[in-house]
Each structure stands twice: as C-alpha cells, then as structure tokens.
Structure 1
C-alpha cells in the first residue's frame, strides 16, 4: 500500500531543514525503489520550503509510522504537524516530474 505523508515544518525552521536535508535525502535514497513521488512543499515563490509531501510504499500503516518516527527530519524536530494516509493511485502521472 502507498502511504502519503503530509509534513508541515515548524515556523522559522529553514536553517534546521537545510542542515538536516543531506541526511533526509540519504534516508530517502536508501528506499528509492519504494517511492512513488517525494518532494518539498514550497511557498508560491517556488523556492521557500515549508514541508514535505511523500508517497511511499509500506507493508502496513504501522510500518509507515515506524519509518516516519525514525526519519531524520522527524528526529530533528522539524515538523509542526504530520499526517499519514493510505493512497490508491488511479491516475497516470504526466506532469510535475523531472525529465
């Protein structure tokens, strides 16, 4: 099952996000074969990061929550709020993905 992680940063946490980001990206790279999509949520300027949206396959909701608890941004205390939802992808992606 794919689980969607909607993760919103605490206010004024840009420095923390940038400092921990290499560890976060390495964590995601280690499970790249299970990621449907992943990336930062940004403000309308397209650059200022304010959270993350991840779609990752896990065997269960418990496994998804266990992964989130050990994810580098979570361990660093970056997120003000998190939500995890099961997701069924019914639409073929055509837009918004790197070439």
Structure 2
C-alpha cells in the first residue's frame, strides 16, 4: 500500500534539520526501493525548507508508522506535525519516471481537499487521492507538478481549496 507522509517543519528548526540531514539520508537509503517520491517543501524564495514529503510503498500501517516516527528529523524534533495518509497513485509511476522537466518552471506540492479529477498534463509529476489510515475515507488529494507560479500550480491541479508549497526533488546532493 502506498502512503503520503508529510512532516511540517517547526519554526526555527532549519539549523537542526541541516545537522540531521546526513542521518535522514542514511535512514532513507534503507527505503530506496519503496520510495515513490521525496523531497523538501520550501519557502517561496526557495531559501529554507518548510517540510519533508515522502510517498512510500509499505506493506502495513505499522511499517508506515515506523517509517514516519523513527525517521531522524522526527526523532530530533524538527517537525511540528506529521501527516500520514493512504495514497492512491493515479499516475502509477514515481517521481523518477518524470522526464518532461521544463527550464524556467518551478516544482510544487499542491494539497487539496477536493475530490480527485483526472489530470492530464505533461507537467504533472505524480498525483493521487489521500485517504484516512483506518478506513480509507477520502481526505483530498496531493499533486506534484511543475508550473510558473503557485496560482498556475493550483489551476493545473484543478483545485479549488488548496495549499501550494514550493517543492523540489529530494535525495542526496
């Protein structure tokens, strides 16, 4: 089963997050085969992180809770909160399958309460429905995409009520 795991950074946690990044990457190395997407959300200027997104394929709720709550950023106190949802992947692939990057466009995570609509654009990296852990009740959707600006990102995601976060591919640099 696929899961959406999003840790929102605590205000002022940037330095701590920086110190924990090598441990975070080492932890994620253990999940390399299970990761569908990963990467930090960013401030509008792209200078600081605001959160850490992972979409991961794991066999059980216990496994995803272990993934979320044994992660070094979580254990170190970087996050204010962690959102864990089921993820129904409508693209069927991963962020590594995305080959249509366009220079001059930014990447975004669009998180919305809307019901999923079919999306078709070469700028969609990945999207899917979010569901409650216990019963799968619909909670919204998440879309990873590239667009010129946050307004264009929301329009491309066909989302009425949204949170639009600048986002970038994660992993070792």
TM superposition score normalised by structure 1: 0.89
Give the greater-gyration-radius structure (CA): 2
Q: Bigger CA drift: 67-76 or 16-25?
A: 67-76
Aligned residue for 1:18? 18
Unmatched 5+ stretches in structure 2: 99-124, 126-145, 147-167
Two-structure CA RMSD over aligned residues (Å): 1.7
Q: Name the structure 2 match of 1:56.
A: 56
Supply the distance in 2 between the matched residues of 1:36 and 1:59 (Cα, whole angstroms): 14
Name the counterpart of 2:37. Answer: 37
Query: Which residue is equivalent to 1:74?
Result: 74
- 2:74, 2:30 → 1: CA distance? 17
* 42-51 vs 1-10, which moves further: 42-51
**Alpha-carbon shift at residue 63 of structure 1 (Å):** 1.3
SS in 1 for 2:77: coil
Greater percentage in helix: 1
Give the SS at the match of 1:33: coil
